[in-house]
């Protein structure tokens, strides 16, 4: 006995033109639309901190940040490390991904883009503390690391605890 799938031609992948995408039966499924479900965005979304009474750290690694060199137009690549102590809000990760993606075609000096990202994140989340470390790949034999910080006016960090090793 043949399975249902053995009796049908299965088409996987995309045709050359938008509008010619077909499902496994060969019938068009959606035509005339942009097939990318996500787009870059400058909008940072947040959600309520589930534990606002506690000082705890959130660390987010973004290994694929790209922007353009404002002098040459060549791509610059960096790994971003975002570390923060949230207050009432936390950054939503998919929105952060779309936000980071939005810099891909923008020319920016490393120092300027690092400060802008921190300022935008602080404006969206209003954290007790936030640090952004932007570790840019080598360009012309030079590595650049930009570290920017924000500390809420009346926040005092807890004293670090050293555990015996």
11 token code pair: 């088409």
CB 127 within 8 A of CB 119: no
Catalytic position from the list 17, 55, 69, 87: 69
76 is catalytic: yes
Catalytic position from the list 17, 48, 76, 87: 76
Residues near 27 by Cβ (< 8 Å), separated by ≥ 6?
Answer: none
CA angle 86, 92, 96 (to 5 degrees): 105
110 token code pair: 């490393």
User: Cβ of 15: how many Cβ atoms within 10 Å?
Assistant: 11
90 is catalytic: no
Active-site residues, by number, are 69, 76
């Amino acid at each position: 006995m043949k399975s249902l799938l053995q009796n049908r031609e299965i088409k996987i992948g995309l045709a050359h033109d938008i509008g010619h995408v077909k499902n496994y039966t060969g019938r068009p499924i959606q035509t005339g639309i942009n097939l990318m479900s996500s787009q870059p965005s400058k909008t940072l979304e947040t959600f309520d901190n589930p534990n606002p009474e506690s000082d705890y750290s959130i660390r987010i690694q973004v290994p694929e940040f790209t922007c353009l060199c404002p002098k040459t137009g060549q791509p610059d690549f960096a790994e971003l490390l975002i570390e923060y102590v949230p207050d009432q809000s936390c950054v939503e990760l998919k929105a952060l991904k779309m936000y980071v993606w939005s810099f891909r075609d923008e020319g920016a000096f490393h120092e300027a883009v690092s400060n802008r990202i921190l300022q935008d994140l602080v404006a969206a989340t209003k954290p007790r503390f936030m640090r952004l470390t932007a570790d840019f790949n080598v360009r012309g034999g030079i590595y650049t690391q930009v570290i920017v910080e924000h500390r809420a006016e009346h926040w005092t960090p807890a004293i670090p605890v050293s555990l015996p090793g």
